[in-house]
Amino acid sequence: MAIQRIVICGGGVMGRGIAQLIAATGTEVTLVDLTDEILKKSIELLSEEMDAEIEKWGLTLSEKKAILARIKGTTKLEEVCDVPIIIEAIPEEEERKKRLLKELGELCSPETIIVSNTSTLSITELASVTNRSDRVVGVHFLHPVTKIPLVEIIRGLRTSQRTYDLVKEFCEEQLNKTAVSVYEYPGYVTTRIIVPFMNEAMHVLMEGIATAEDIDTAMKLGYGFHMGPLALADVMGLDVVMKWMENLLEELSEHKYNPCPLLRKLVRAGHLGKKTKLGFFIYNEEGNKIGENPEIKLRGFIPPPEK
């Protein structure tokens, strides 16, 4: 049975993408965020993102209009909670997510399924603060949501089979995604594997072994990735990637998740990747990559003079 109405908490990079994906299937979407200003900005950004898709012939103007007409924004969670599925896509901070999930448990109807888009946190832990841990499940959409054909569906230890089946059907039948099933553990499959990969690329850059452009080219052409690890980190958001590393480090105590010092420096400087126009690369107003970050100087060897 098709879901007619859905609520998404958090209108950031992922919330916008999930809203677009779901609204494109004819479902009404309510986007909830903290302030009206954030919501306005979020809808503006979504509109610009769809304009970029129209330019590349990936979407038509009438599809864009229909999608936007189905997305409404609000700050009043308590007024919109009566839906079959509610998805949270707020920042990757455990305490913040727990506060929201607890509130959702209190506000939503008993039947509502709560979905978290967390990339690294334990679904069992998040579900433990709600009054319905059998109806809490992880659905890990990847960025860019409308383009990536995969979702990971993560069962917490208490997620019921019925909840899992309903959400899997929603993702596969309605959203047309391929779903892989993941058993409870932070990082799941995709984040757990991609994070050390990006971290290692940052170390290779920091050690002066190759330029950012050459590292990405090597991995794209050498191993068939469609995007290099440094550009990928920029697109995901360097603050978000660093938070994933910190969460995995805390949970798994493995040095490979310790954020590369270069990543820490960029995040502290507010260079968060594509969304701030500067990360490992520089981006223009349209979000296209136009060069390497000039502040990252390659510390390679100077070749000896010819004899």
In the complex, the residues that contact ligand NAI under the rule CB under 6 A are 9-15, 32-34, 38, 89-92, 96, 100, 117-119, 142-143, 236-237, 240
Query: What CA–CA distance (Å, rounded) separates 20 from 2?
Result: 17
Tell me how far, at minimum, the Cβ of 275 lies from ligand NAI, in Å.
7
In the bound complex, what is the minimum distance in angstroms from residue 13's beta carbon to ligand NAI?
4
Based on CB atoms, which residue is closest to ligand NAI, 214 or 289?
A: 289
Q: Which is nearer to ligand NAI, 31 or 166 (CB)?
A: 31
Q: How far apart are CA 138 and CA 88, in angstroms?
A: 10
Please state the φ and ψ torsions of residue 304, each to the nearest 5 degrees.
Answer: -65, 150
Q: Is 228 helix (H, G, I), strand (E, B) or coil?
A: coil
- The minimum distance between CB 244 and ligand NAI, in angstroms, equals 6
201: buried, middle or exposed (CB in 10 Å: 19+, 13-18, 0-12)?
buried
Minimum distance of ligand NAI from residue 144's CB (angstroms): 8
Q: How far is the CB of 246 from ligand NAI (least distance, A)?
A: 12
Least CB distance from residue 33 to ligand NAI, whole Å? 4
Q: Which residue number, 38 or 252, has a Cβ lying nearer to ligand NAI?
A: 38
| Sign of the torsion angle spanned by Cα atoms 87, 93, 96, 102 | positive
Give every CB contact of residue 55 below 8 A, 6+ residues apart in sequence: none
Instruction: Please give the biggest Cα pair distance in the chain.
Output: 81
Residue with Cβ nearer ligand NAI (195 or 240): 240
Q: How far is the CB of 112 from ligand NAI (least distance, A)?
A: 16
Please say whether the beta carbons of 42 and 173 come within 8 A: no
Closest CA to 236 of 245, 247, 224: 245
The two structure tokens encoding residue 166: 């309903």
Nearer to ligand NAI, 60 or 178 (CB): 178
Chain residue whose CB lies nearest ligand NAI: 12
299 vs 307: CA distance, rounded Å: 24
301: left (phi over 0), alpha (psi -120 to 50) or beta: beta
Nearer to ligand NAI, 73 or 211 (CB): 73
CB closer to ligand NAI, 38 vs 68: 38
